[in-house]
Structure 1
Amino acid sequence: MANAAVIGSIILPNIGGWANGLYFAGQIRKGEDKSWYDDLKKPCWTPPKYVFGPAWTILYSSMGYASYLVYEECGGFTEEAVLPLTLYGGQLLLNWAWTPIFFGLKDFKLALIEISVLSGAAVATTVAFGSVNKTAGALLLPYLAWLGYASSLTYYIWKNNPKVEVREIKDEKSQ
């Protein structure tokens, strides 16, 4: 039974990531091999697109295993587990919300605000996990580093890619 709990804990956070990836991969295509994302102004330190899937799978799996360690350390869904696991669930929902905001709405400012809130929630989760189980807290450190990196990418994209709708409105007024 413990193996099922470990596997479930690892798969759960990946479900939202995989669902977002599958759904939005089809939404961002412009042509056969190119997407609107390819046309954005991005910094030279932007990783290739193929890095994101494996990176997030590793990060989600680490988060899931960390949540399992907290669950086990607290003896299940006990009073002691309420705060860390609630924080975990909240930051996981925030994590899953970033992709539809960025890729679906293409609202880079809102995506930056959202990832900032997510980062705060992830820090709170890391502290709460670490207070229950040091390994669980440590497993979230690469996630925090990646969120910092993703936040800086989001900021750069927001600052260097004005919304298309704004440009279209200005173009119509000048005619």
Structure 2
Amino acid sequence: MELDLSVARDYFMSYHGAIASIILPNVGGWANGLYFAGQVRKEGAAQKAWYDDLKKAPWNPPKWVFGPAWTVLYSGMGYASYLVYEECGGFVDDAVLPLSLYGGQLLLNWSWTPIFFGMKDFKLALIEISVLSGAALATTISFFNVNKTAGWLLVPYLAWLGYATSLNYYIWKNNPNPRATIKEIKDEKTN
């Protein structure tokens, strides 16, 4: 039996748009995760990260949950954007609003990590994730108007954003001056 590579190539090419749509949101998430994981552990893997010393909500999951959860959520939202793109027939007038909302909320999504982990500004991160949640809701509604499956694919993302907002709120309320707390922790470790 001879393998016809042209069939495999045609099969892959017919799905490259879906694959690219799934990979795109993950790339931003992975880049943020890799960069800020290095920032969190700047002083060495043997020491606890500053984040570990924060007072966190009792419902805060283990750190290892975040990577897989975001990979699934980014993949779902990416595929949803592909369904909207296909349903509209490309970047045509009908696709401008839902895909612009999608792009905007994706940029907001990627912005939260530098604010929370980079700037360590928990209040600004809370404000940002609240705006993000509104943008994600608007995106979900616009996706539902184009393709029901695309809309449903964003529902778990909305639920996770609500959960993440509650975690951010708890950290903000229970760690009132994060920069001072982080500096005190670093000072203690050097003495």
Class of the TM-score when normalised by the shorter of the 2 chains? over 0.9
Counterpart of 2:15 in structure 1 is 3
Query: Does 2:51 match 1:32?
Result: no
- Aligned-pair CA distance for 1:3: 0.7
Counterpart of 2:4 in structure 1 is none
State which of 94, 105, 116 in structure 2 corresponds to 1:91: 105
Residue type matched to 2:45 in 1? E
- Aligned-pair CA distance for 1:155: 0.4
- Aligned-pair CA distance for 1:27: 0.1
Give CA-to-partner distance per residue, 1:81-109, whole Å, 9 cap, x none: 00000000000000000000000000000
Query: Percent identity, aligned pairs only?
Result: 77
* Mapped partners of 1:57, 1:165: distance in 2: 29
Give CA-to-partner distance per residue, 1:11-58, whole Å, 9 cap, x none: 000010000000000000144242111000001110000000000000
Q: Counterparts in 2 of 1:130-145, with a 5 A limit?
A: 130-145=144-159
Give the TM-score of the pair, scaled to structure 2: 0.85
Structure 1's 22 and 166: CA in aligned 2 closer, same or farther, altered over 3 A? Answer: closer
Mean Cα deviation higher: 154-163 or 96-105: 154-163
C-alpha contact 2:120 2:179 (8 A) present in aligned 1: no
- Structure of higher CA gyration radius: 2
- Aligned-pair CA distance for 1:164: 4.1
State which of 33, 36, 49 in structure 1 corresponds to 2:63: 49
For the aligned residue pairs, the C-alpha RMSD in angstroms reads: 1.2
* Mapped partners of 1:152, 1:164: distance in 2: 17
Counterpart of 1:76 in structure 2 is 90
C-alpha contact 2:120 2:178 (8 A) present in aligned 1: no
| Unmatched 5+ stretches in structure 1 | 169-175
Query: Does 2:163 match 1:163?
Result: no
- Aligned-pair CA distance for 1:165: 4.2
Counterpart of 1:128 in structure 2 is 142
| Unmatched 5+ stretches in structure 2 | 1-12, 184-191
